[in-house]
Amino acid sequence: MILLVDLSWKPGSLSRDEFVGPVARIVSGAGQEWCEAHFSGISGVDLRDANGIILCGTALKDNHFAEKVQAFSWLCDIHVPVLGICAGMQALCLVHGGTLRPACEIGMTTVRVTHPDPLLPDQPAFEAYELHAFACDPPPGWKVTAVSDRCVQAVRHPDRPFYGVMFHPEVRNDIVVEQFCALCRE
Amino acid sequence: MKLGVLCSGGKDSWFACHLAMQKEVVACLISVRSRNEESYMFHTPNTHLVPLQAEAAGLPLITVETEGIEEAELGDLSRAITLAVKQYGIEGVVTGALLSVYQATRVQRICRDLDLWCFNPLWYTDPEIYMKELITSGFRAVITGVFAAPFSADWLGREIDREALSSLQQYVQSHRITLTGEGGEYETLVLDAPVFTKRIVIQESEKEHANFRGFLRVRRAVLEEK
């Protein structure tokens, strides 16, 4: 079971269908069952049953999650694979000591792979959809695996299976979520 | 949160409005009437009927006209949204974008420049589920423009019901159209929706069709009690 975490400013918001729904559709297509929870109410039961966790994105103007970093402290204690998408990558980085800075990208952008990664397309560069107002300066020791002209686009934890992508893979890069699902099955 | 819904008169903008009304306050509709039938941004066949739809739904409407010149039309959209902010105090915009990165990107940028929220509740939705939900939730949408094979003139004015959906599903296989028409294969006009207190009746219309391309031009339509 993959746990999809909604990072929108409130549970059941109008953003849910835009940022959680498309990811859920790819996870289902990859043959994985999923469940979802809002970041403000993650329970031990949600985490116990998860063999993978995806932290979904938020609307461009929605940075409420970044003011509630303590709500993500459970990310320090888990060992299942985690994929943070956009706001999800920001939350993942913040809770591990990374920082954010203003850097807006909207629309298709060229992403250059700087280090081979099991989740990223197997090519030196690819086009990806961006929708973010802030960029991450990753936590110390984390590996940067892709960049755009504006900012870091993909990171991974040095030891644990924690991955972050700043672009939105649910738009034209389904393979990132599909490869994450494959990783969760291993 | 007070929202303005970008409304072309078609099924996607009205379904997005329907979803937005379940979560937030829809304060007004925003319509851009393009004089260019090839507009990259705006659905064109029957935008002159949006005021009738707005009346049916009891929602205020802001309309601006555009020449529909690529990119310049974005200034007209921004002007319309700015008017909605001033007149109705909207804090965000809702669109019916399904797959168009071109449209979504441009609306997102306008909203960022105006410091507004932007919501796309149909973004990358499952087309099969969406089309079935459209029918079962009480929408009556008719096809008012066709722009691809194998759409014959018979499709103009046809309601998207279960039978029509079945044919569209076949065309997805046989002609690689998108089920929702998001690829520009067809355009729709909503005649009735859950939010409407009255329904629209087309009293006079004309069809133009040649080489799998055509329009149903609605000349006269009225509201009728439901």
Mean pLDDT of A126-130: 98
The answer to whether A108 contacts chain B (CB < 8 Å) is yes
Among the options A86, A136, A151, A181, which is catalytic?
A: A86
Cβ within 8 Å of residue A67, ≥6 positions away: none
Residue A79 known to be catalytic: no
Q: Per the CB < 8 Å rule, is B105 touching A108?
A: yes
Distance between start and end Cα atoms, chain B: 30
Chain A residues within an 8 Å CB radius of B130: none
Co-location of B112 and B145 in the same domain: no
Name the minimum distance, in Å, from the CA of B66 to any CA of chain A: 24
Q: Is the pLDDT confidence value at A14 over 90?
A: yes
How many independent structural domains does chain B possess?
Answer: 2
| Whether residue B132 sits in one domain with residue B30 | no
Q: What are phi and psi of B197, to 5 degrees?
A: -90, -15
Domain final residue pick, B119, B139, B169:
B119
CA closest to A107 among chain B residues: B105
Domain coverage including residue B6: 2-119
What residues of chain B lie within 8 A of the CB of A8, using their CB?
none
- Given an 8 Å threshold on Cβ–Cβ distance, is A129 in contact with B101? yes
Per-residue pLDDT reduced to its tens digit, A53-110: 999 999 999 999 999 999 999 999 899 999 999 999 999 999 999 999 999 999 999 9
Take residue A69 and report the two structure tokens written for it. 């970093």
- A168 has catalytic annotation: yes
CB contact under 8 A, B123 and A22: yes
Looking at beta carbons, which residues of chain A come within 8 Å of B116? 61
Same domain, B166 and B66: no
For residue A29, give the chain B residue with the closest CA: B126
Contact map slice: A 30-49 vs B, CB within 8 A: none
**What percent of chain B is modeled with pLDDT above 70?**
95
A86 catalytic per annotation: yes
Shortest Cα–Cα distance, A180 to chain B (Å)? 19
pLDDT at B99: 93
pLDDT category at B157 given cuts 50, 70, 90 is very high
Candidates B146, B123, B152; CA nearest to B16 is B123
Q: Pick the range with the lowest mean pLDDT from A43-52, B22-31, B106-115.
A: A43-52
The pLDDT of B76-95, averaged and rounded, is 97
Residue A144's domain comprises: 2-185
In this structure, are B75 and B179 located in the same domain? no
Q: How far is A81 from chain B (nearest CA, A)?
A: 25
Lowest mean pLDDT among A8-12, B68-72, B88-92: B68-72
> Please, what's the largest Cα pairwise distance for chain A?
41
Name the residue among A16, A8, A27 with its Cα closest to residue B121.
A16
CA-to-CA distance for A20 and A39, rounded, in angstroms?
12
The CA radius of gyration of chain A, in Å to the nearest whole number, is 15
pLDDT tops 60 at residue B183: yes
At B11, which CATH number? Answer: 3.40.50.620
SS3 state at A54: strand
CB B15 within 8 A of CB B130: yes
